[in-house]
Structure formats: C-alpha cells, structure tokens
Amino acid sequence: MRDDGDGSASREDADDRRARDGGAGMSFAQRVECALRALANPVFFALRSRLRFRRAGYRETRETPLTDPVAIATLQRFGLTDLTERMRASTLATTLHVVDLLDAVFERHAPPTATPLRVLDVGSKNFEVAPALLASLAAHRGRRDAIELTGIELDAYRVYADGHSRADAAAYFLALAAEVGLGRSHRFIAGDVLEHRERYDVITWFHPFVTPAPLLRWGLPRRHLAPERMLEHIASLRAPGGLLVIVNQEPEEAAIQRALFARVGLEATSFEVPSRFPRRHATCPVHVVQKGTAPASS
C-alpha cells in the first residue's frame, strides 16, 4: 500500500510487509517502533484532525514522457489520455493499475444500473483513485455522466512533504475527473466511515487495515483498528442490489479478509486478478460481496 504522505513510500511498503500478522516476524527494533507509534499517533492524529490544514494550488505534472504503448492504449480506451501530463508517474501508475483491475472486476460482476449510480470509496487517502474509478464504471455503463462518487477518509489532513494535505490532493483529482468529462457530482468527506450512514450502489474499499502494524505505520491511533466492525458497517451501507468490492494488498491479508467474511456472516466471491500494471504483485486478491446478498446487520 503506497502512501507518499511523508515521502517514505518504499520504506513503508517494505515495513508493511514485515509487519504482517500483527507483528509476527518483526525485529525487536520494529516492535519498538510500533510501540512508539502507538504512543505518538493519537497525539499527532488529533492535532492534524483539529487543524484541518488546507493549502491552495496542489498540482501534479509528469516528470518523464509516457512511452509504454499498452499504457497509452489503456488511457485512450478509458478516456483518460488528457491526464497523462497532469499526474506524477507514480499517480498515473496507480491510475492504470486501478482502471485495469476494476475493468476485470466489473467484467465478472457488472455494476448495478441505477441512475444516478451512487458510489463510495472507503479510506480514499488522497482520492487519487477517483478518475480511474469513475472511468472504469463509465466504461461499463456506456456513459460518463450520472455517477455520484463519494470518497471518505479518516486522516484527510495528513500533510505531504510539499505542504499540501490529502484533502488538497483530493480536490485536484476530482477537478481532473471533471475535466475529462467524468462529472462534477462528487465529494471527498473528511471523516470516519463508521459514522457515515448513506446508501450506495457500488462500494470500493482498497487495502483495508486488517492487522495493527500497517495502521500504526499509516499514522492512525490503535483504536481505529476495527476490521470486523468496519466490514459489517460498510456492507450495511449497500443499497438493495449494491456491490461491495474489496481489494487486499497480498495473500496474507486476503486470508484474514476471508476469515472476516466468515465471522460477520457475509458471502463473498474471492478471486485473483492478474495485473497488466502491477504495483507489488503480479495478481491482486479481490473479494466481491454479490448483488442480492443480504447485508449483515450493522
């Protein structure tokens, strides 16, 4: 799971890997680091949540020309070519990864035909996935309008090294989506999904926290680790016939995720999607809670 919030994405990835299973396999130093984060995170999280820092002018540009013909063709197919120069290479890589992944998911599980289609993305970070999410849904609906996308992020005011917060970046990505004709009826909510009560036709949830160490590394207080309660609640936000799509980072997390489905009594279809634009692994574990499956009570 990539986060450029403090400019240490690759270190975070490597540490996350070592920190699976709530600490099994972690070195002594990593355990100490987690313990310190457990003490510090509540203080810094409370500070930035109270400060709600925003700064105008967030923008991205591409550092090097895009030459990969498969990437270029994919952006063309989804009507995203105009974003090529307006995203950093790493953001465009995420966009390609997500659009390709969701295309395969919606091929197997068609999104509902509701108009407008109400869509929720949970734990959106800086909402960089917004254009890709909208474009993949638009491709499957055969129209680029009539989608209302909401992103919700608990830690929306985490500040990047460049002095912009995730909320600033989210506004930028929603503006980009609007510019490529993917609509303007979208919003980014700074808040806790557990306190959110609206209903949605499609819910995406990329990389939920299922163990403590990654959550601590992402700067959240330990009390926000509630994978079972989150799953039950998020499933309950589906409108009748709604679709919940969960993507895990890797097989270990997918196994924990499947156990969570069993614990809350939700029937999910789990499968691996091979990625043409892989981020960490060649395939991604995906779970879809099928249309018509009764949500667990929240």
Ligand X SMILES: C[S@@+](CC[C@H](N)C(=O)[O-])C[C@H]1O[C@@H](n2cnc3c(N)ncnc32)[C@H](O)[C@@H]1O
What does the binding site for ligand X look like in residue numbers (CB under 6 A)?
1-2, 123-125, 152-155, 192-194, 206-207, 209, 218, 220, 224
- Minimum CB separation of residue 65 from ligand X in Å reads 25
Nearer to ligand X, 26 or 225 (CB): 225
Among residues 270, 233, 268, 266, which one has the least CA distance to residue 251? 270
- Do 121 and 131 form a contact (C-beta atoms < 8 A)? no
Nearer to ligand X, 188 or 261 (CB): 188
- Minimum CB separation of residue 196 from ligand X in Å reads 8
Between helix 166-179 and helix 130-141 the angle, nearest 10°, is: 30
DSSP β-bridge partners for residue 148? 118
- Minimum CB separation of residue 101 from ligand X in Å reads 11
Question: Which residue in the shown chain puts its C-beta closest to ligand X?
Answer: 123
Nearer to ligand X, 71 or 152 (CB): 152
Q: Token pair of 261, please?
A: 């489905």
- Minimum CB separation of residue 139 from ligand X in Å reads 21
**Alpha-carbon distance values, 193 to 24, 215, 246 (Å):** 29, 16, 15
**Is the link from the previous residue into 116 a cis peptide, with omega within 30 of 0?**
yes
- For residue 176, the one-letter residue type is L
- Minimum CB separation of residue 220 from ligand X in Å reads 6
Buried b (16+ CB within 10 A) or exposed e, 206-240: bbbbbbbbbbbbbbbbeebbebeebbbbbbebbbe
Nearer to ligand X, 103 or 253 (CB): 253
- Minimum CB separation of residue 206 from ligand X in Å reads 4
Nearer to ligand X, 150 or 293 (CB): 150
- Do 202 and 138 form a contact (C-beta atoms < 8 A)? no
- Do 124 and 98 form a contact (C-beta atoms < 8 A)? no
Nearer to ligand X, 144 or 225 (CB): 225
Find where tokens 């994405």 sit: 9
